[in-house]
A and B are shown apart, each in its own frame.
Chain A
Amino acid sequence: MRQHLRRETLVNAGLAVLLLAAPAIAAMAGEPFYVTLATRMAILALAAVGLNFVLGLGGLVSFGHAAFFGIGGYAAGILATHAFNQEPFPFGLSGTNQMLVIWLAALIASGIVALLIGLVSLRTSGVYFIMITLAFAQMIYYFAISWPAYGGEDGLSIYVRNAFPGVNTLDPLSFFLICYVLLMIVLAFFATLRNSRFGAALQAARQNPVRLASVGVEPFRIRLVAFVISGMITGLAGALFADLNRFVSPSMLSWHMSGELIVLIILGGTGRLFGPVAGAILYILFEYFLGGITERWQLFLGLILLAVVLFARGGLIGLLAGKVRHD
């Protein structure tokens, strides 16, 4: 057991170093494109870590996390647009180009939506839960498409990347580091929460909700809190993604995005701390290399995914570090 734990820790450390070193070297070599690629990895990993709170710990297959990703993105886009055009918001608020404020807004907005979606969808379980989360995300997607105020189907551009105190966010490596540090903080939070009382209750709710209820803890409340935390983190990643692309569009809200986030977790290894990180690295590399060879790279991605599901269920980390162990 010790050995497995140590091996997984080693793999995790290796991934963390790899994700940091590669863009640093690329920046020194004057290849900003690869820095951007690594930034995409870090942001998608962050979004998937958010999903992993409910999917990995709680066993809840949310097929609607694009909703939170997109809401975080739109929070960034809308605030930045208002700041740029100097249009005030209702209630005397104004737009901003400060990332810290934008992140807060993204966390709050996605948290509120997660609470509302969770209140309805967590009353159900299994397939119902999958379909309902998917449906609610789709509702927000259609709303974004047909609501004309913020670009509708065409999306919303952020003309200048938002600012962070003391950091030149226009420098690709600096922006990467912001994303990387956030990812590491959230991973640390994930690891802490997993070992905490709340984490114990959440994992118990996955393994045996009846048992959890019979010792006197309502699974619903535990799951709801986890769902809100999960949505908030994915929302934060959405705000970063908007800043990376300087563009927000309804495609961030599409069900394809929700599917991708699940794919990242499975590719990396379900129930693993660094599963989403490994998954995001793999996914972006697939996209980059396969996409370089053929326009139809998604066809091959589909075949690879099928092979992973049918034959290699532990994902990359399962391959490298063996089975999941609990204490």
Chain B
Amino acid sequence: MSTALIIEQTLNGLQFGVMLFLMAAGLTLIFGVMGLINLAHGSLYMVGAFACAVAAAATGSFWIGLAASLAAAAAAGALIEVTVIRKLYERDHLDQVLATFALILVFSEGTRWIFGSFPLYLNIPQLLGGVVTLPGGLPYPAYRLAIILVGLAVAVGLYLLISKTRLGMRIRAGESDREMIGALGVDIRTLYTVVFALGAALAGLAGALVGPLQSVQVGMGEPVLILAFVVIVIGGIGSIKGAFIGAILVGVIDTLGRFLLPLALGVFLDPSQAAGVGAALASMLIYVFMALVLAFRPTGLFAAGD
């Protein structure tokens, strides 16, 4: 086993991590500001991926697809916010879970109705189709590297948005006190729609970026959604910083676990058995990690208001 391979897997973990961050950031923002648990966030990820695939196929340009994914996911987010989600803010978590679960059914079956059950495929844009040679001579796919950079850029952008802009100020005020923000003369309904659409756009972006690496199909959002939950539970619900650190930890631990555990077990098991057992144990690793974090910090690493 070479160091190069470990570096490559770590980078893959980072790429997975920033993708999870794009999902988790929206979820945690929506929870922090509106107090809503949104199971349908994975559907918005799926909407982004489909929009990108369809627009890219029609125009031949991945970049137009990317823009379409942002627009479609934000529009879908704003639409469900206005029609359904808005009525759920004052409800208990059970109602929120159920209504957003129902939204998943609608989104999934609706998408299957329009596009059928066959997966769509997206190509990596030509510009990023190549391989980058990293310092040390390690070749790495340019596209994956680009995802990492986009994720980091979004993280910085969100940080600036929330700490430096008027919108960010309103978001922070909304987190601490809904009444006060009403008193400030901010139209809270519009603010909530904007925040929800922003979270949706981030999920759509994640879906579009991942599209060329996997197939674009119905149900693709749900495994990612659940991992994003693990991320924000670890990071602390409502904290963007927690979502970022949690996402990177989960991405790297999961990827390295899948790579290293079968190898480690190979020391005392025969190879095929080691691969099976290793894969099974690796799939549990991040959940064990989550349990450990919770055992010491029941509200996550960076609980809001801590």
Contact = CB atoms under 8 A, between A and B. Distances in A.
Interface of A: 55, 61, 63, 120, 123-124, 126-128, 130-132, 134-136, 138-139, 142-143, 145-148, 255, 259, 262-263, 266, 270, 296, 298-299, 301-303, 305-306, 309-310, 313
A44 to B, nearest CB: 16
B294 interface: yes
Contacts of A262: 94, 97-98, 101
Interface in B56-110: 84, 87, 91, 93-95, 97-99, 101-106, 108-110
Contact of A130 (B97, B291, B300): B97
Contact of B299 (A124, A139, A143, A259): A124
B120 interface: no
A147 B101 contact: no
B232 interface: yes
B233 interface: yes
Interface of B: 31, 37, 84, 87, 91, 93-95, 97-99, 101-106, 108-110, 112-113, 222, 226, 229-230, 232-233, 237, 276-277, 279-280, 282-284, 287-288, 290-291, 294-295, 298-300
A298 B108 contact: yes
A55 B91 CA distance: 16
Nearest to A55: B94
Contacts of A298: 105, 108-109
Nearest to A136: B287
A143 B97 contact: no
A97 to B, nearest CB: 27
A309 B102 contact: yes
B99 A127 contact: no
A310 B99 contact: yes
Contact of B105 (A131, A138, A146, A305): A305
25 contacts: A61-B94, A124-B298, A124-B299, A128-B233, A131-B232, A131-B233, A134-B229, A138-B287, A139-B283, A142-B284, A146-B282, A147-B276, A262-B97, A263-B101, A266-B98, A270-B94, A298-B105, A302-B103, A302-B105, A303-B102, A305-B98, A309-B95, A309-B98, A309-B99, A310-B99
B113 A130 contact: no
Contacts of B277: 147
Contacts of B94: 55, 61, 262, 266, 270
B97 A61 contact: yes
Which of B91, B103, B222, B230 is most buried by chain A, counting CB atoms within 10 A of its CB?
B230
Given A127-B31, A305-B99, 20 more contacts: A120-B291, A124-B294, A124-B299, A131-B229, A131-B232, A132-B233, A135-B287, A136-B287, A139-B283, A147-B280, A259-B101, A263-B101, A296-B113, A298-B105, A303-B102, A305-B98, A305-B101, A305-B105, A306-B103, A310-B84
B280 A135 contact: no
Contacts of A303: 102, 106
- The prevalent SS among residues of A at the interface is helix
B303 to A, nearest CB: 10
A131 B232 CA distance: 9
A139 B276 contact: no
A266 B92 CA distance: 13
Contacts of B93: 61, 126-127, 130
A40 to B, nearest CB: 19
A34 B304 CA distance: 52
B41 to A, nearest CB: 12
Contacts of A259: 101
A128 B298 CA distance: 9
A303 B284 CA distance: 34
A155 B195 CA distance: 42
Contacts of A136: 287, 291
Contacts of A126: 93
A309 B87 CA distance: 10
Contacts of A124: 294, 298-299
A146 B282 CA distance: 9
Contact of A146 (B95, B110, B233, B276): B276
B293 to A, nearest CB: 10
B97 A148 contact: no
Contacts of A61: 93-94, 97
Contacts of A305: 98-99, 101-102, 105
Contact of B226 (A127, A148, A255): A255
Contacts of B279: 146
A235 B276 CA distance: 26
Contacts of A120: 291, 294-295
B86 to A, nearest CB: 11
A102 B300 CA distance: 39
A123 B294 contact: yes
Contacts of B97: 61, 63, 130, 262
Contacts of B108: 298
B85 to A, nearest CB: 11
Which 8 residue pairs are nearest across A and B when measured between Cβ atoms? Answer: A302-B105, A299-B109, A305-B102, A139-B287, A142-B283, A302-B106, A131-B229, A148-B276
Contacts of A134: 226, 229
Contacts of A296: 109, 112-113
Nearest to A124: B298
B291 A146 contact: no
A238 to B, nearest CB: 20
Contacts of A139: 283-284, 287-288
Given A135-B230, A301-B105, A306 B84 contact: yes
A325 B48 CA distance: 46
A134 B277 CA distance: 23
Which of B37, B95, B109, B230 is most buried by chain A, counting CB atoms within 10 A of its CB?
B109
